[in-house]
Structures are given as C-alpha cells and as structure tokens.
Structure 1
Amino acid sequence: MTIRTTRTLAASTLLALAVGASLGSTSAGAVSASPSPTATASPTVSAAPSASAAPTASPGATTSAPTGHPSAPLPSPGSSDPQCVNGVGHDSLKVTGTGLWGTTLVKGGPAQEITTTWENTSGVDIAKFATYLYLTEEEPTTPIRPFTKDLFEVQVRTPGTDWKPAYFNDSRSVDTGTHAIAKGGKLTVSVRITATTKLPTGPYGGNQGGASEVFDNSVIPHPTSTQKYSCTQYTGYYEGRTKVSDTADAATATPGTVRPTTTAGPGLAETGGSSSTLPIAAAGAVVLAAGAGTLLVLRRRKAAHQ
C-alpha cells in the first residue's frame, strides 16, 4: 500500500514540473519573453489540455508510475527564454490545509470539503497563482481513465464568490482558478466533493496545490539561485489520501500533509526554498497551464531595459 501510494503521488508530481512554461503576469514592470510553441495572448486556463502540450504522460493515461519522486527537469523557460537559461528553481509558500484527506467519501453520501490556504512569504507580489485539486485512484483495477461527470459532484469556492459547480478535466484535476496574492497576503480556496453511486470504491490520493508565474532571480529578495540568468517559481500544496466506500463505517485514510514540512504543527510548510524542494513541486498544476497557451512573462526591473 505504501509503494502504491508513493507511485500515485509521484505520478502527480511529474505533471507540475513544467507549469512555469505557461504561467505569466503582466504589470508595469513586466517584460514579455519568447512564447512557448503553443502560446497565445489569452491567459485563460483551459480545462482540457492538449496532448502535445503536456511534458509527460498524464496519470489518466496509464496505471504505471515512477517508484519515487523524480528529480526536477529544467522547465521549458530555461531553454526558450534568455533570462532562465540557467534554470528555474522552486520555492514553497507557507501552506495550511484541512479536510478530505483522512476522511471517507461514502457513495451517495454527504460531501467532503477540502480547504487550502497559501500565504505569500516570497517578499514579492504574485500576480498569477494557478490553483487546482488533483485526485486519482491509488490501486486501480482497470486502466485509469478521465473522471466523468457522473462520478463526482464538485463545487468550488474562491475569494469573493459563493459555491460554484466544477468538474474534473481529462487529467483528473479540477481547475480552481488563477489568483493574485499580494506580498504578505493569503489566498484560500475550498472544494466540496460528493461521490456518486457510480464511483469505484477503494483508496484515492492527490493534492490541492498551486504555482505562480516565473520570476527573474535578480529582482526578488530570496532567489533560489544567485547564478545569472536563473529564475524562481513559487509553489505549495496539501497532499493526502481519502477512501471511497459503500458505507460510512469504513476505516479512514491517513490524514493529509503539506510538503516540505519543517515543523511539528499540522498543515504547515516551510517558507524557505532549496534544490531539495524541486522534486515535490506542486503536483498537477501543469494541467491548468498545458492548454492555456499563455505567454511566459518574467517579472523584471524596468531599469534592465532602460
């Protein structure tokens, strides 16, 4: 069970490592970089990414998965944008999470709610923080396929809005929106999930997470690298396992955690970043970006071009 769980979460990790290729922000001090091959001017997140845009196989495409967290490959901005040729590091925001993980989803029963809060400890304003909820079976008996609308009822609540219906896309991820988080500010997103009578029983795993636009390391207070022409992306996620059962008296799953963790307090992630945080970048976020075709933009000083 532990090995399968690791494989499930490792597979979801692969989905996120290229999210920096598509996420961007525009502001008075922003400078457009070369777009990716699928780039367009629209920042809208697509609910159904194209197969060609995904850097790795979706967990919806196969039951196989890596046996552990992979080392982080260089996101595509490193090869296409002159400001990131020496790599894109990942730094974790402070994350707290509650709900869903450690609970049982009863088929035809009440909804379970998951809520994650990201605190912007980066020292800079984040203009575009793409968020999602990723969920998949841990021990599938048949090849994993996209979740159809008749398996779940999903609702999402974001700042300033009431509960709204949502759906899993083809990569088993729910797009919960792209949001701004001011320096020192917080973002809270909640998702309600109800299992219908058609959902297969068994253990499930996943995470609620997000990832920011890519920043030039020369203009942020805590860069992941001091090397010239390197960049940083801010991420954070709350992961765990749940169980789908026919009855409410089934044993519950292991409670959720946030990663990386440096404190004994529940649901608290470290704010510092290092190369060790790269393999556990926010899993599933690339689902939001792969079909968006947004321009990559780096947050840089105006002075650099004056």
Structure 2
Amino acid sequence: MRLRGTRGSRNVEDRRRQSGGGRGRAAPIGGVGLIVVLAIGYFAGIDVTPLLQQGAAPQQSATRQVSAEEERAAEFSSRVLATTEQVWGQIFPTQVGREYRAPTLVLYADVTQSPCGGANGATGPFYCPADKKAYLDTDFFATLSRQLGAKGDFAAAYVIAHEVAHHVQNELGILGQVEQARRRSSQTEANALTVRLELQADCLSGVWARSVSGLLEPGDLEEALNAARMIGDDRLQKRAGRVPQPHTFTHGTSAQRAGWFNKGYESGDINTCDTFSARRL
C-alpha cells in the first residue's frame, strides 16, 4: 500500500508507553466488544472464560520503551486511519445524507481498559461503541502475519478498516439494534446476528478498499482477501484443533468473510452491505 506522503490522523490516542506489567489479565469486555475476544481465542488456543468472568485491572509498571518496529506500526496505523476518515467523510454525505464523525484509534501495549472492559494482546483489536474508539495492540500485526498467515501491509490495513467499519455501523445505529436483538435471543440466534454484523463490517471494509484503490500496489487486494480467509471461524476452530461448529460462529466462515469483502470492493456502495436482509451469506 502506497502511504508515503499520506498524512497521519490526529484521532490517535497513544497509550503504549503507559502500558506495562506484561501480558496480564484485563477486566472483561462486555456487549458487542466481547465478540472479538471469542474469535481470537480460537487461533491462540486461549481459554477466554477467565478473561470474561474474572477480570481484574491491569498492573501498571514504569514507562515502557517503544521499539522502532512499534513506531513504524503506529505510523502506518495512523496513516491508514486517515484514509478511512477521508473515505467515509466523502461517502456519508453522498450515500447516507449526513456528516461522518470519525472514531479515535487507541494504540496500546500489553493491557488496556475501555468503557467496554479491558483487553490484552491476546484479545485482538476491538471497537467500543461506548466511547467510539477502536483499540489496537500493534503487536497484533505480527500475530496476523506470523501465526495466522495473513501477510502484507494491506492485510494489516484491512484489520484497521474492519474496526472502523464497526464505528460506521455504530454511527448508523446498527450496533445498538443488533445488541438489543442479541439480548432477546438464544445464544445460537445471538451468534447468527453477530455473524451478520461482522460480515457487514467486512463488506464495508471492501467499500473502503475500493475508495483507496489508487493507493494499492499489485497483490494488495489478495492480501486483504487472504486475511479475511485466515480469520474465518471455520479455519480458526480447525487451527485450534476443534471440529468447526457453525452454531458457535461469531464472524463467519473464511469464504463468507472474503466474499463479503469482495462484494463491498466491487460495488463501492454501502447499500450492497445489507447482510441482515440477505437470505444467503
């Protein structure tokens, strides 16, 4: 992805020097926020039950040093975030009919807290609708590449775009509607609603990708599609040594995730991302 000369976003909150104490336990993430915890737990082989039920505030230590690799990841994240601000800032007036209000990206290391609860590096990126902030431990980029097989800078950009897409859903009122519906549903039904929510975010990420196509390099689109496939529920459950069980899926299969990203990319229109009306995902 050609980001040289692209400005960085001002909507970045850098907590990396505040974090410390190793990758300890964080307070539980609640509501929509816990969706990411459940998904990332598959590939890491993590028992997320203690994280969700027995959270404790992270232990703080002295100011930590930030490596050159972390600085590069932070700069990259800031520039990608700026592209999402530009894209959605243009799309909202034309396709939604109102102004777009951008989220804040929180960069952290080890552990952090949010109004939705806490997280550590194992939980993966998440969006908290309560404060309209996306949370990212930049070490996740290394996990994405080395453990999940989703290599390339555009794979990392897709991760950021996906979390911003959850903010788009929040701005459109979709997150709140889905959370209310989940509370009235059985666990299986709630999971199915969450899958549609996540696939819609993948589609919206595709809409963003089409809008920044001028910044793409050969192979970038395939990097994003590959990343979507690598974090499908079926693949993550297999990776954890489990037989895939669709009723437990919270993000969709590899094929569904890649398919909806591609649908958004081909259309460039958020109206094609209505996964809740789709008969087949």
TM-score, with structure 1 as normaliser? 0.26
**Higher relative contact order by CA 8 Å / sep ≥ 6: 1 or 2?**
1
Structure with more of its chain in strand, by fraction: 1
Structure with more of its chain in helix, by fraction: 2
TM-score, with structure 2 as normaliser? 0.27
